[in-house]
Structure 1
């Protein structure tokens, strides 16, 4: 998350730059689509040049701002990381079979949701929301890096598998997609990270201009959305309102489905021997529910287009001539992806704010206890601290919330244990451990 100093308007614009940018992009695309459409269709040797440049800039900036120390710290949670990789690239990816079979009209909307299920997690918004919710930001960042690199090789294969199940004779060149994603993602990422590590001025530049780099990164995503919508403006306006509304609700429902799936797996994981700390669980839930719009846009832009709509006689003759079917209008395919991306920011921000509120209330409660203990020490600084109460051993551990131990603790201390239990539910495992020490000290002092 980028911290911004200055007036409230500036902070608001920076924090809400992406949704504001999307609103501007939609207005320009629908009212004046010619420039965006021209950029979208500008190709050099089969490469959509402007889209590739947008994507490369996103990952170059991602690489030049990527701190190695954070990634090393995150490796401590490697088990959660491995589970997240499987979840993001395979579990949610295979749910594409569900969405591609849904009765969307036009069918491009269903293709879009199916493709979006296959791509890696989001680049910046997910990590920012994990930080906002007091989750493990380093682990979230490592999930982003690993899934976006591995996704270069895995996502095209999963996309081809899912599309082939619904579109007969579709030709998806998975190897070509891997090459294009590699050029758009992995090469700029390596260059950005390499420049940061070997050239000191680049490191200073990345730290000094973190906010402008963040905005440039977000602007590239807005550019991709603007070009895509401009290209599909005519087809989009032809659609019936309730069909578009159904696609929007489908995209929102897909994100809620991914959230519930992530919450369920995070809840089940400890029963399978993979205990997650509270901060790790937050990172897992957010990152496994989010998807990367730039990666989806690049994949869609290089998939075979085809006749859109209901396949009239002209469309059918075109299919016969080419010998295969395409996805229809690729801009329509991208629309549910854009909706999903926008809504995941708002929905997950609500979730992160709830976590933050809970955490901050717990911290306030912890500060309250700390202040009271400090006052007690000032009132009686000479009180003995190593007196063992009757019925206790000096080396016997006391577990907070334990029924067996609670039954052996004096009544006034049991009240304190209950207060600690309430507090532990707010703060999680770390607070529980510190509060156990507090209760132990109170028992010793008694």
Structure 2
């Protein structure tokens, strides 16, 4: 029972996926599409970042800033290694929508909650993991449009896609930076730590992410049903992609001599990718590629399963 309680988020992802996909009446899918068409993902993303701002501790940020080497390595995996890995995988002539989905995932910053939790579980520096989360999401305002523009212009796609960089930057500023600052401001002026602890905001954040998964699957259900065999290809693709990032992360911490207690945040924060922003980018700018949304959702589920197993193994080795 304790293990189920710890893994409730992953279990929720699986149950929501099954409920939407196997609902023959399509009631759930229709409701999700209504939310999607009425700014549901944007509202949830805004709330997620407000809550993230409320959860940020200034002491944790200061502690995280100290480890410059680990920060640079994590950002290197997030900003450089991920797009390179996606570009290499596209040498295998991926279907266009699948390639777009992989590009969106590769351009994303790190996760908002799962990476921090797994870093802690593996015995790593939670403060540094939180710092990487904040920093990478701020930087993503500038990196996402640039990385996406580079990836979609790679040879092999049927025709060139034009990315409106300024529009994406403005939208990310409104949905990432603004709510983060609002949350941090509220925490500094109004709330106290004891009151926030009682609200269980981390759990609220995870429920909001599950809501985004629900909306995403509702929008991607038709693409999944029309491309049933693609489902298994996508699982293989995103698994290889994530394992490539993990491999690069492990290699970097070994080469640069990052020791135990510090390398965990590089591994988990460097290799994980946030789902809420990928959903927002897909629905706003690549809505005609329904299967791209499927790639984003499947990648999130797969990398949580892989990293959940990895963090548990690292925790076991720590306690043995």
Instruction: Say yes or no: TM over 0.5.
Output: yes
1:278 aligns with 2:269: no
1:312 aligns with none
State the Cα distance separating 1:190 from its structure 2 match: 0.6
CA contact (8 A) 1:25 1:223 kept: no
4+ runs deviating over 4 angstroms: none
Q: Structure 2: any 5+ residue segments left out of the alignment?
A: none
CA contact (8 A) 1:133 1:353 kept: yes
Matches within 5 A, 1:231-380: 231-241=219-229, 243-270=230-257, 276-306=258-288, 328-329=289-290, 332-361=291-320
Task: Answer with 70-79 or 25-34: which moved more.
Answer: 25-34
State the Cα distance separating 1:18 from its structure 2 match: 2.1
Q: Which has the higher contact order (CA 8 A, sep 6+)?
A: 2
Deviations 1:66-117 (A, max 9, x none): 1110111122211221232232112222322223343334x31222112211
CA contact (8 A) 2:81 2:245 kept: no
1:377 aligns with none
CA contact (8 A) 2:77 2:271 kept: no
Deviations 1:364-409 (A, max 9, x none): xxxxxxxxxxxxxxxxxxxxxxxxxxxxxxxxxxxxxxxxxxxxxx
Matches within 5 A, 1:375-394: none
Cα distance in 2 for residues equivalent to 1:179 and 1:264? 36
1:370 aligns with none
State the Cα distance separating 1:170 from its structure 2 match: 1.5
1:207 aligns with 2:194: no
The aligned length equals 313
State the Cα distance separating 1:302 from its structure 2 match: 1.5
CA contact (8 A) 2:77 2:245 kept: no
2:35 aligns with 39
TM-score (norm. length: structure 1): 0.67
Cα distance in 2 for residues equivalent to 1:297 and 1:200? 31
Greater C-alpha Rg:
1
TM-score (norm. length: structure 2): 0.92
Cα distance in 2 for residues equivalent to 1:179 and 1:21? 32
CA contact (8 A) 2:85 2:241 kept: no
1:12 aligns with 4
State the Cα distance separating 1:167 from its structure 2 match: 5.0
2:80 aligns with 90
CA contact (8 A) 2:79 2:143 kept: yes
Cα distance in 2 for residues equivalent to 1:164 and 1:302? 19
